[in-house]
Amino acid sequence: MAVGVIYDDSCGDVTALSNRWRNEIEDVLTNAKINVKARQDIGFIIDDIDSFGKAGDEQKIWESSGADLLILGSYQLQPNNKPPQAQLTLKLLDVNTSSVRQTLHTIKKLPADWGKSAAQCSGNVFQESVEVLVDSSSPEKKPPLSATFDRKPACFPSGGAGTVHVQTEAGTRVYLLNLAADQSVTLLYPNTRLPDQKLNSGRFEFPPAALSKEMQLQFYPLVAGQMSRESIKVIVSYFPIDFSYLPVPENTIYAGAQGGDIKQVLASLKNARGWSERVLDYWVGPECGE
């Protein structure tokens, strides 16, 4: 038997929580005298790679490992339950017949540090690549892009400050959109202080270090005292994209429906060309500590 990835059902992230439960399952199987295939047997360690293909691709990998049965799983966080918990879904697959032997749903109590563990991501089952590396000589191509928070894992206490670091190529434009827990959107950059313009170099950070005393990027949960999963959509483009219809949260906390409509953002991107995006997910709330 082999144990494959367990991922966050809402976004596909493989997290420290995923790997904790994966290890627990392997321990249970081993204690039951079941022969558990070591992950190293397949030639590389899945925990150490940056990204995955489609969710089903791992089954093909394990087919070559000699395992007859494979366990795959996903979880749904329920952070505002008392105590916080997650619903863990496990599927037992028969590798030889490509059939599902059994499906198990179980409730797991979340550990005290679950916010940091859920934000510590080692890959994503839905993304084929984290970085886009292409020839930018044609305007129809997508510009290269990598983006990260300065905080790892990306788990912020209420009111905590962070910085977004972007690496692309000179001459592109950057747009930062904050997606709240209810999918309403605000525009972080450009703003009234920092206009839309081409980058002089391929490196960009927000807020800029030169404006650290005047400008901060602070995070607040959708509901005070509760944990929220939100994200920043980082977009780099060879051409200007009009997001002027979105509110800019300057010296203001935007919560819930006060933000813009995600559907309008998607329509703008559908009509644009020559752009790449990277979504930086993060947690914010009391379980993230200080």
Q: What pLDDT sits at residue 256?
A: 42
Mean pLDDT of 32-41: 75
Rg (CA), the chain: 21
Token duo for residue 33: 């005298």
Mean pLDDT of 1-26: 88
**What would the CATH number be for the domain defined by 2-124?**
3.40.50
CA distances from 234 to 1, 189, 205, 269 (A): 40, 10, 11, 12
Q: Which CATH class is domain 146-288?
A: mainly beta
Instruction: Tell me the pTM.
Output: 0.70
Q: Which of 95-109, 136-150, 193-207, 269-283 has the lowest mean pLDDT?
A: 136-150
Q: Is the pLDDT at 259 greater than 70, yes or no? A: no
Q: Is the pLDDT at 250 greater than 90, yes or no? A: no
Residues of the chain with CATH 2.60.40.2550: 146-288
**Distance between terminal CA atoms of the chain?**
41
User: Phi, psi (5° rounding) for residue 146?
Assistant: -135, 145
Mean pLDDT of 109-127: 83
The average confidence (pLDDT) of the chain is 81
In which region does residue 225 sit, left (phi positive, over 0), alpha (psi from -120 to 50) or beta (all else)? Answer: left
Stronger pLDDT, 182 or 106, i.e. the higher one: 106
Token pair 């429906």: residue: 257
- Tens of pLDDT, residue by residue over 162-189, are 999 999 999 999 999 998 877 788 899 9
Q: What pLDDT sits at residue 154?
A: 92
- Pick from 192, 187, 197: which is nearest to 262 by CA? 187
Q: Is the pLDDT at 44 greater than 70, yes or no? A: no
Give the rounded percent of residues in the chain with a pLDDT score beyond 70: 81
